[in-house]
Chain A
Amino acid sequence: MSDKLILQLEALKSLQPEAEWVKNDKEKLLCLISASCAYRAEEKSRWKRWESAFSNLWPAHLAAVFGALVLILTSGTLTVAASQSSLPGEPLYPVKRASERMALAVASEEEKPKLEIEQAGRRLEEIAELTQKTSDAAQHEKVAELMSEYESQLSSANDRLTKLNQAKAGKDVAKLAATAQVVTTQSDKYTEVLKKTTDTMPEAVKAKVSENVADAKVTSEKVNVEAMKVVADAHGTPEVTDEEMQMATRRLAKIDEATEALKLRAMSLNGCEAGAKVYLAKDLEKKYALKPNSGDCVLGGTAEERYRTVSSIKEQLEEVRIKLRDKDLKGALVVISTALQRTEDLTKELNADEEAKQKAAEEAARAAEEAKAKEKETGTLGRE
């Protein structure tokens, strides 16, 4: 027995890794190794070259410092200037962003919001340019990233404005008002530009970035309202210009538009189509006279909750309308900003809801697939 077993064990030597695998794995490994070797060799030789070039003139480290200084002084301004038209993914783009950050760091507190708004405008320009280039495969990712950059720059401008407005002591009020004026006009422009840009986007990209766009829209409105508040505070209540009234009305229309979109999203949570007549489950429970037809939409659960929030925001907007009619700009702006805050929160909630819904759908699909596979398995077993 044991002799035979020893022979058998010896024969196990014929176990071999697949030749194909060995070849691939070896190549991979050798490539890894030779790359690390090459890197080390290169590092050494580069250092030696520097040393030999300067050793008879100066000590090596002095030479390095001098060289770096020359480089910075001669090429810095040129590089920054050249970088200004660059797009994400291009080598000079980080230089552009760094120069922006630098400008922001040295600006005075009152002017920072203005700078941030300008920089956000550049993000919008970049988005427009990127969407015109159709060849880029990772386009939508870059657009989404830029969109969230735009949004974060706006919201940071918004925070700054709020803070400045609350603590005006020792600040240059006239300068602040001027800044806020620029912010209002610019952000008003941006909402239009953003709309146009998203309209001209390729469908595939549009679908991917729709969430970011919705966020960005709300933030644009917020910063605009905040800036308007600053302006209204600065020049006192009595005189309200026509321009300001128009601006406020436009905000109202925009928020109305946004809430309408949110309403549709809330409806689609329960699978309802746009234009269907909406009934709420709790209303149906209370009022027996209400009887939905087959084409009508009945909302229950979270969808119902969201729908109710939208309705109450709409009521607030009605309030704003009345205040504007009475030329109470300040009061209107206060209500608008709370309505906006609620819109923003609702957008976030809806995003989370939709994500959860999608996840649940995926899980259900997977479970169904597994069940099918199991059924198949038991089927084949039965045949055997």
Chain B
Amino acid sequence: MLPNERKILLSAKKGNVKAFEMIYEEYVPQIFRFVFLKTGNREVAEDLTSETMIKFWRYLQSNEIHRDSAGPILYRIARNLVTDLYRRQEVPAMDLDEAMLEKVFRKEPTLLEKMMLKEEMKEVMNGVKCLKEEYQEIIIMRFVEDLSNQEISEITGKKLGTVRVLSHRALKSLITVLDKKKEKKPVRDIRRPVGGIRTKWKDSLHGPRKISEN
């Protein structure tokens, strides 16, 4: 989110191109990631991102702006576009090959990103794609983009409590999927590991690990 984003939004509404450019630069990477993680196809992600921005401009021109941030509107537009895509049954092919990953990942990664292996990231991405729609979105918004529960509830139109519950479930579901893929073992209940060490038992009896809220 930009500092003073509401002012920038209002100025863009009046036709200030510079203001719109600021919003574009801030949000395009996020929207691209969102669409890319949902569709797994770079070209489709580029097209839909571009379309999202055009639609957002039209929205700005024809609607009153009551929000402080462009994020929720943008995500909502992108979400609808992806849904439309699937409704038209034009499911894009996944293109997660090496050359593509080279293109998509940041040129100068942060320390954290350096620590992660590309191979693992790919697995995670594939795992996210396997989740159901609702969980996918929550995972991307909550854990990749670090949006607050409040923001997610605005975008998805779900209640705050529901979002909180969903984010736990989504993460759990992702872990299950990844486990299944990695070890090729039958799915097990995370809270009741069979034959683990005692400490693990204890840990898991307290329910799933809390996820920090910030």
**Cα of A9 to Cα of B175 in the assembled complex, Å:** 12
Q: Does A47 contact B (CB under 8 A)?
A: no
A2 touching B54, Cβ below 8 Å: no
Give per-residue flags for A1-43: 1 if the beta carbon is below 8 A from chain B beta carbons, else 0.
1110111111111111110011001101110111001001000
Interface flags for A323-341 (1: CB within 8 Å of B; 0: not) read 0000000000000000000
Asked if B104 lies at the interface with its beta carbon under 8 angstroms from chain A, I say: yes
With A13-B144, A30-B17 as known contacts, state yes or no: A8 contacts B105, CB within 8 Å.
Answer: no
Given A2-B208, A17-B28, A29:B53 Cβ within 8 A: yes
Q: Which chain B positions have C-beta within 8 A of A7?
A: 112, 116
Q: Point out the residues of chain A lying under 8 angstroms from B53, CB to CB.
A: 25, 29
Which listed residue (B33, B45, B112, B174) contacts A5, Cβ 8 A? Answer: B174
B37 touching A12, Cβ below 8 Å: yes
Least CB separation from B209: chain A residue: A2
In this assembly, does B103 line the interface, its C-beta being within 8 Å of a C-beta of chain A? yes
Interchain CB contact under 8 A, B57 and A33: yes
Interface residues on A, range: 20 to 34
Query: Which B residue sits closest to A8, measured CB to CB?
Result: B124
Residues A13 and B33 in contact, CB atoms below 8 Å apart: yes
CB-based contact A33/B121 at 8 Å: no
**Within the assembled complex, what's the spacing in Å between the Cα atoms of A9 and B116?**
10
Interface size on B, residues (CB 8 A): 46
Report the minimum CB–CB distance from A329 to chain B (whole Å): 66
B1-37 near A? 1/0 per residue, CB < 8 Å: 0000000000000010100110011001100110011
Within A79-116, the residues touching B (CB, 8 Å) are: none
Chain B residues 38-63 with CB under 8 Å of chain A are 45-46, 49-50, 53-54, 57
Tell me which residues across on chain B come within 8 A of A37, comparing CB atoms: 15, 17
A2 partner residues in chain B, CB cutoff 8 A: 171, 175, 208-209, 211
Within 8 Å by CB of A25, from B15, B50, B103, B120, lies B50
CB atoms of A10 and B32 under 8 A apart: no
Contact of A11 among B24, B57, B112 (CB under 8 A): B112
Q: Is the CB of B32 within 8 A of A16?
A: yes
B103: A residues at CB distance < 8 A: 18
| Contact call A11/B17, Cβ cutoff below 8 A | no
The one of A9, A10, A15, A40 that contacts B105, using a Cβ cutoff of 8 Å: A15
Nearest chain-A residue to B35 (Cβ)?
A: A17
Q: CB-CB < 8 A to B120: which residues of A? A: 8
- Is the beta-carbon distance between A5 and B171 smaller than 8 angstroms? yes
B112 CB contact (under 8 Å) in A1, A10, A22, A28: A10
Known: A5-B175, A17-B49. Is A12-B124 also a contact (CB below 8 A)?
yes
Q: What is the bound-complex CA distance between A10 and B146, given in angstroms?
A: 8
The chain B residue with its CB closest to the CB of A16 is B106
Quick one: given A15-B105, A33-B20, are A9 and B33 in contact (CB under 8 Å)?
no
Contact A12–B121 (Cβ < 8 Å): yes
Within 8 A of B (CB), among A179-227: none
For A22, the chain B residues whose CB sits under 8 A away are 28
Closest to A29 in B: B53
Residue of B53, B57, B109, B144 most packed against chain A (CB within 10 A): B144
Contact check: which of A11, A17, A28 meets B121 at CB < 8 Å?
Answer: A11
Q: Are A14 and B57 in contact (CB under 8 A)?
A: no
| Residue of B20, B37, B211 ringed by the most chain A CB atoms within 10 A | B20
Which one, B17, B24, B174, B209, contacts A34 given CB within 8 A? B17
Q: In the assembly, what is the distance between CA of A34 and CA of B17, in Å?
A: 7
Instruction: Tell me whether A29 and B50 are in contact (CB under 8 A).
Output: yes
Instruction: Name the contact of A15 in the complex, choosing from B21, B24, B37 (C-beta under 8 A).
Output: B37
Binding site for B on A (CB under 8 A): 1-3, 5-18, 21-22, 25-26, 28-30, 32-34, 37, 40
The 4 residue pairs across chains A and B that have the minimum distance between CB atoms: A9-B143, A14-B106, A17-B32, A11-B116
| 14 examples of A-B residue contacts, CB within 8 angstroms | A6-B171, A6-B211, A8-B124, A14-B105, A15-B36, A15-B104, A16-B33, A16-B105, A17-B29, A17-B49, A25-B53, A30-B17, A30-B21, A37-B17
Given contacts A2-B208, A14-B106, 7 further A-B contacts (CB under 8 A): A3-B209, A5-B174, A5-B175, A11-B121, A15-B104, A25-B53, A33-B17
